[in-house]
A and B are shown apart, each in its own frame.
Chain A
Amino acid sequence: MSAPSPSRAADASRAIMLRYGADHAGFRAAVRALVAQGVSPDRVVWRMAAAAESTAEAGSVDLFGTAAPAAAPADAPPLSLPRAVANLVDLVLCHRDPTRFALLYTLISRVLHGERQLADNPADPLVHRLGHMAKAVRRDIHKMHAFVRFKVRGSENGRERYLAWFEPEHFILEAAAPFFRTRFPAMDWAILTPLGTVGWNGDALAFGPPASRPPLPEGDGFEEGWLAYYASAFNPARANPAMMRNEMPRKYWPNLPEARIIPALLETAPARVAEMLAREAAAPRKRDPERAVAAMARQAPANLEELNAVIASTPPFVAGGTCAVLGEGPLNPRLALVGEQPGDQEDEAGRPFVGPAGQLLMKALGEAGLTREAVYLTNAVKHFKFVQRGKRRLHQKPTAGEVKHYRWWLEKELDFVRPRLVVALGGTAALALTGKALAVTRERGPHRLGAHDGYVTFHPSYLLRLPDEAARREAYAALVADLATAKALAA
């Protein structure tokens, strides 16, 4: 590549040779040079190297005996093109049409000479034409994502290896490949095409020169299964081959295993439909639905043990939670106390209210004339939601949506326990019981909680978090008083 000759006039013809395929870098460099020299589009002849030459040096080749630089002069100002133009260039360069370079350079030229908004006018014939080309390229990329069919060819070092042969219409391999890397990171795969190849080994995409159709591994059982699936998914009563070809043109058929059976499916369709219509509605064979339907009605847990078994076997709805901490206490108690969620120690012990907040609650219960054994204890959320920080598991407040995931269980649980009064300890419990957020400090006291007579008070952990000793004492007294009132209400 030589420097531009300062003596040459801007109207001399230029021949630009680009690499085979979608040569983005070469095209950009050439355009910068041409723009810097003020070469008008009708003075440029664009060529693309043949596939075989693509590994040889391309870039700029002089066809007319004058030097035609592809690299912009060092002082050429960078081109600033509107995003819409840049996007169009990126796509259209992948197109197979040899006129694409000239059309794009014409577009760029017009944009730089007063028609800055040109690409935003889809009614302009040039923009319209380029738009069509871009659309064809996008469609080809999309169809490649859809119609590549991998065949398995064994495995190596624990990684399965797959191979595909595909025939794209345009130079889209580099644009289409990242999709496969994202989708199949743990497989080794290669896609061979007449326009180039790409492979993935878990580390990087590797592109190679055009290939010819390789011998492909025999279809394994899955390919046969796929054909069976395809045949079954077809509804013969709705045969519409034109619509199918519209979306899956024949040019793709040779590399689609399922396309082999299309003719047979279409041929037999009319007879299958005629047979369906002719067949009399058959009398049902004798079955015994009543028993089955009756069995169905019994699916709901019949008692607290069955419900607890369901809860225990369900994975948590919150992050963390190693095990479900179930409620405990007598059936038909005066009071059922509903907390927020188990904490670190509850999660370890598998029992509610055994941590610091639980101990405080037990103390308050005692002062209110109650015992742990006399009340039913449970939580709105059955799992410990936490984030790990070093060795510590930090409590996370459940979101409203998470609390609601657990609501159905709490409702069912209280249906079985049948307390006279439900005490919501804190806002989360109230939310779980009523479905609505509620300000505890303002609404402490008797409160209808869903289907239950209820009472709203502080959660004991709230007291632990109060920084000021006096405030803590005051809140504790209120908690004891609330528990005593609730006990009296439930008498």
Chain B
Amino acid sequence: MDDTLRTKLGILADAAKYDASCASSGARGRRAEKDGIGSTTGMGICHSYTPDGRCVSLLKILLTNYCLFDCAYCINRRSSNVRRARFSVEEVVAITLGFYKRNYIEGLFLSSGIIRSPDYTMEQMMLVARRLRQDHGFAGYIHLKAIPEASPWLVEQAGLWADRLSVNVELASDISLKALAPEKDAPRIKATMGQMRERIAEARGEKRRFAPAGQSTQMIVGADATTDASVLETSAGLYGGYGLKRVYYSAFSPIPEASRVLPVKPAPLRRENRLYQADWLLRFYGFTVDEIAAGGADGMLDLDIDPKLAWALKHREQFPVDVNAADREALLRVPGLGARAVDRILRARRQTRLRLDDVARLSTGVRRARAFLITADHHPLKLTDRADLRERLAPPARQLELFA
């Protein structure tokens, strides 16, 4: 790899890092032929971590950061003065294979600025994926960013080569999208997601490979006035309506070459973290958006405590619950108990009446949970209703751990 290529790689990786998605999961096991290369595991692997604590799983790059669009929140918008570069198809293929063989990455996450036309750009991206699969027998993970402005038949092809497809909804509110991303069109984005959803479901039913790891999307948080409740409402709609695997939240963060129409102050990182926790509650813990929103105020989540604790503190009449008797749904709502811990509790209590020490072995969140739990040897008594419970349980101010 020569200096020029390395410089391009620097520019085009820098330009891609604001996309939050890094997952290499969900692709069902696939392995290379004898003369090929690569495999996918269900879980995905993080091959490194950058000093911001984020995982490096895929080679996440743009084909080019030249762009005809002018989305205010994006560092690559056409009016930005950022340095530009462009890879050839062959260059991306070579870097992907070179990195993969050294075990640096799980695969490729390819996105791009729009050059010439959406169709042309999409074709170039697909050509990369196709060359990897057809010419090099590459069985590693490929995530392609679909361009909703491209002709619909191109999306049909993308899924043949990619494990995962994604289209970014960018902003939870269509009105904000209109204002900040004048070339983008919310109905068109949704139509593309709908198209992908249908094809993915059909192919799964017909046992064909079409984006086997499903589709995901990303929303930028804090670039407009949208509340957390509206963001989550949008997410719930996307999970339900389009069968998405993941919605990623990206707190608007200071970018070099910021646009003038954007807020000067970055959104707090903790907001992003709380949204991920709330997203988890939506998908795995049986909470509704309204319940989660009720834990905060004015549609915004409580930044100091996690959304489940926030909800529980406002619904103390539902606690304490008996760890030896409560059903799964009730246990999932206990602050401090994760889904895994709840499953362990259910297994363990078939054999023994659980005491507080037992729960401590099953869950790392017992400090928070004990105020809401009855065990064989413990009753929180008035603790559940103490006025200062929130202060007792709120974590001390500390460095925020993202994706914790």
A399 touches B402 (CB 8 A): no
Nearest B residue to A229, CB-CB: B13
CA distance A265 to B54 in the complex (A): 14
Inter-chain contact A150/B35, CB cutoff 8 Å: no
Given A284-B81, A314-B157, residue A248 in contact with residue B48 (CB < 8 A): yes
Known: A123-B354, A287-B79. A240 touches B13 (CB 8 A): no
Q: Note all chain A residues with C-beta closer than 8 A to B7.
A: 228
In Å, the complex CA distance between A238 and B266 comes to: 11
Of B118, B208, B352, which one neighbours A296 at CB under 8 angstroms?
Answer: B118
Stretch at the interface among A42-50, A114-122, A334-342, A464-472: A114-122
Give the interface SS of chain A, mostly helix, strand, loop or mixed: helix
CB nearest to B34 among chain A residues = A185
Counting chain A residues whose Cβ lies within 8 A of the other chain, the interface size class is 35 or more
Q: B379: CB under 8 A from chain A?
A: no
Count contacts on B: residues with CB < 8 A to the other chain.
102
Judge whether B9 is part of the interface by a CB distance below 8 angstroms.
Answer: yes
Least distance between A111 CB and chain B CB atoms (Å): 13
Q: Answer whether residue A6 sits at the interface, using C-beta atoms and an 8 A cutoff.
A: no
Residues of A within 8 A of B348 (CB): 120-124
Q: Please give, as numbers and ranges, the residues of chain B lying within 8 Å of A240 by CB-CB distance.
A: 51-53, 399-402
Question: What is the number of contacts between chain A and chain B, taking CB atoms within 8 Å?
Answer: 268
Q: Which of B231-239, B254-262, B292-300 contacts A (4 or more CB under 8 A)?
A: B254-262
A293 and B183 within 8 A (CB): yes
Q: Do B80 and A232 touch across chains, with their CB atoms under 8 A apart?
A: no
B17-29 vs A, Cβ < 8 Å mask (1 yes, 0 no):
1100000000000
B278 within 8 A of A: no
Task: State whether A276 touches B255 (Cβ < 8 A).
Answer: yes
Considering the complex, give the chain A residue whose CB is closest to the CB of B12: A232
Inter-chain contact B206/A399, CB cutoff 8 Å: yes
**Would you call B400 and A400 a contact (CB within 8 A)?**
no
Determine which of B6, B102, B203, B208 lies in contact with A228 in the assembled complex, contact meaning CB atoms within 8 Å. Answer: B6
Provide the A166-184 mask, 1 if CB < 8 A to any CB of B, else 0.
Answer: 0000000000000100111
Q: Mark B206-221, 1 if CB is under 8 A from A, else 0.
A: 1010100000000000
User: In this assembly, does B135 line the interface, its C-beta being within 8 Å of a C-beta of chain A?
Assistant: no
Highest count of chain B CB atoms <10 Å: which of A117, A202, A222, A223? A222
Q: With the chains together, A258 CA to B151 CA distance in Å?
A: 40
**Which residues of chain B come closer than 8 Å to A369, judged between CB atoms?**
none
| Chain B residues with CB under 8 A of A157 | none
Contact of A122 among B33, B48, B61, B347 (CB under 8 A): B347
When the two chains form the complex, which single residue of B2, B49, B149, B352 contacts A221, counting CB atoms closer than 8 Å? B2
Residue of B nearest to A129 (CB): B361
Which residues in B have their C-beta under 8 angstroms from that of A145?
Answer: 45
Overall SS of chain B's interface: loop
Tell whether, in the assembled complex, residue B9 and residue A125 are in contact, meaning their CB atoms are under 8 Å apart: no
Question: A226-B99, A232-B14, A296-B117 in contact; A183/B104 too (CB < 8 A)?
Answer: no
Q: Are A148 and B13 in contact (CB under 8 A)?
A: no
Find out whether the CB atom of A244 lies under 8 angstroms from the CB atom of B102. no
Say whether A247 contacts B46, CB under 8 Å: yes
In the complex, residue of chain B having the shortest beta-carbon distance to the beta carbon of A279: B256
A281 touching B9 by the CB < 8 A rule?
no
Chain B residues whose C-beta falls within 8 Å of the C-beta of A179 in the assembled complex? 39, 41
Nearest residue in A to B45 (C-beta to C-beta)? A146
Closest CB in chain A relative to B197 CB, distance in Å = 12
Closest approach, in angstroms, between the C-beta of A264 and any C-beta of chain B?
10
Q: In the complex, what distance in Å separates the CA atom of A36 from the CA atom of B88? A: 68
Closest 4 CB pairs of A and B: A243-B53, A401-B202, A284-B79, A221-B1
Pairs across A and B, CB under 8 Å, 17 listed: A120-B350, A121-B348, A164-B103, A183-B32, A185-B33, A222-B102, A228-B6, A229-B10, A229-B61, A232-B11, A235-B54, A243-B53, A243-B401, A244-B49, A244-B51, A277-B254, A279-B256
